[in-house]
Structure 1
Amino acid sequence: MANTASAKKATRKIARRTDVNKARRSRVRSFLRKVEEAIASGDAKLAQEALRAAQPELMRAAGRGVVHANTASRKVSRLASRVKALSA
């Protein structure tokens, strides 16, 4: 348990930040799930729209440090190639 005032404040800040990051990560996963479902359904137009919505959300999460920038780029790249293959 924290003893000093600064350590207590730090634990409060960490708890708040953890909640925010959990919400952001959950939001990103929701967007990714929508893309996955659209790809699974075989609807190229829906998949394209879902990817267009998911990409900025992933990059925003990377910018905020919720996910690593390379991870976000890799996910976008792989989803984009799958959507492209679907529409071709």
Structure 2
Amino acid sequence: MTMGNGRKYTVRTVIFYAVYCVAAWVLERVAPSGPCTPGLGVMVLIFTPMVGLALFLFSLIGRIVGRRDFVGPMLVNAGVVVLSLCIFFGLR
């Protein structure tokens, strides 16, 4: 059973964010946050909306050009951007 291109890219995107979160956790353990300074893990998480937005734009451009099916990764990246901004700004 083969996986379609759109599904393959969606799985890669989800795996990327899983590795991204594990890396943030490991970096936070290596260089923990102090009372006035964020640790490496927190610094990585601060860049999450920017990384998600960049990957969303990449997927959007790929979809517009029409070379690949990037609808799944676009939805995952948009969800990550919205979720991370809601967490950062305390929106419910």
Normalization by structure 1: what TM-score? 0.43
In our comparison, the structure showing a higher alpha carbon Rg is: 1
Structure ranking higher in helix proportion: 1
